[in-house]
Chain A
Amino acid sequence: MNGFLMSTDRRPMLLMTPALLWLFGLMVVPCLLILVLAFFRRGIYGGIEYTWTFENIALVFDPLYFQIFMKSAGIAGLSAAIACVLGYAAAYAIAAMPRRHQPLLLFFAVLPFWSNYLVRTYAWIVLLNREGLIVNLARWIGYEGELPSMLYTEQAVVIGLVYNYLPFVILSCYAPLSRLSPEIAEASRDLGGSAWTTFRRVTLPMTVPGIATGFVFVFVLSIGNFVTPALLGGGQFQMIGNLVYAQFLTANDWPFGAALSMVLIAVMLGLLMGQAVVAERASGGKRAPDG
């Protein structure tokens, strides 16, 4: 074997160094900085006072802010659950179509995911606003009464989050569904299981990792979201992302903003580890082959 391939060679390290330095300087260091910042005091004029304190972390759990945390978690959980139900159904349906059509169906299911997030959210403003398409449609079919405001509500935020992240759930659920071998379900049938029993006892358990991945992904992206609540929830609506935003750009309390993001990251890391455990269990405790 020549030197180029040797894993002990220093040359691979040389290739990796520029990128790793970049990630170190512009990701690891700034994140560590935020971690440290969370334990400093806010200066009188909005600056940072370099004395240690746990006040910021404690303030996150103050009922006033903790309630925003819980509300964000609730909205994120609801969005993730709806996205999982819809996404699983769609993935199941795609996997049930003739093989040759599946790649194209999957491509079109995922395509919106790769278009601009702001634009996708804006599309819902067009539909939901007071002069929007849905109101016009209701008038057109003869509805005369006053319609409840649909934009700037919690429901609008949930719709927006589900809409934006649904394609990811379809992808994560499709992978295990398409790998299911039909013989297993047939075996269940031969043993007298009804279609529903087969789904509930065989298909569903075998595809739980895909659902878990989708759920965690939607939850994580939703709980820290700042664009969707800002646009579909209106100015007053606050989720954790908006609170963090306000600490940095308007309230000028960076240490508190840093503390909020630290708690946010902790919640997300916990969830991701939980998802890794689910994946591990599903693979029968044995490690997935490398690569």
Chain B
Amino acid sequence: MLAKRIIPCLDVDHGRVKKGVNFVNLQYVGDPVEIAAAYQQQGADELVFLDITATNEKRKAMAETIRKVASQVFMPLTVGGGIHSVDDMQNLLKAGADKTAINSAAVSNPEVITAGAEKFGVQCVVLAIDAKWNSARRQYDVYVNGGRQQTNLNAIEWAKKGVALGAGELLVTSMDKDGTKSGYDIQLYKQLTAAVNVPVIASGGCGQLGDFVEVFDQADVDGALAASVFHFGELTISEVKADLRKDGVIVR
């Protein structure tokens, strides 16, 4: 059976790694190749690179960053942020990425999911969703543009539609939990994994060891993504995996 994946996320701005807290405040962390290699050493199962570069011109740096990382680090690499077209996907896949995560562009132009899946295979197309609980409507709303703009989409319905269009994986960030370090949004992932039959990666809220056990025990997610707990050395991946193993979760 497949191992559950532990996935550090690197926010990259024009070739440098940063960590976005609640999508707004940024702190410098360092060189992508160095950090990626350190995570490989620690036993990361995959790396997500999120391009937070503001302008399209500077965004071209991302393919170069991936090219450098892929020549030194031998695990699956996912790239998200600012991907709008099949050409954008192709540039990153050619540079050495294994998957591309589409967020806002998939909402405004859902056909890009299908076009990417047909051209590269569903395994290359990750639908990234930023979701926030709406207590009035009693549903998770989808947000775009780095969490700044609310849409009228229901996250669970959008996830189902995205899979039907060709997304091979979902990377879902809980905006309520992101940056809080209070654990993953279990309810969100329970609903998502019940609704789709593709891998779901949980993101947002991880603050301590027990959060990983909780999300894998309580929701049928395939991977858990975290950033600051790893970047600032609060937890190591090996320590997370040891804890999961103790709990009977299959990890590499």
* A, B from the same assembly: no
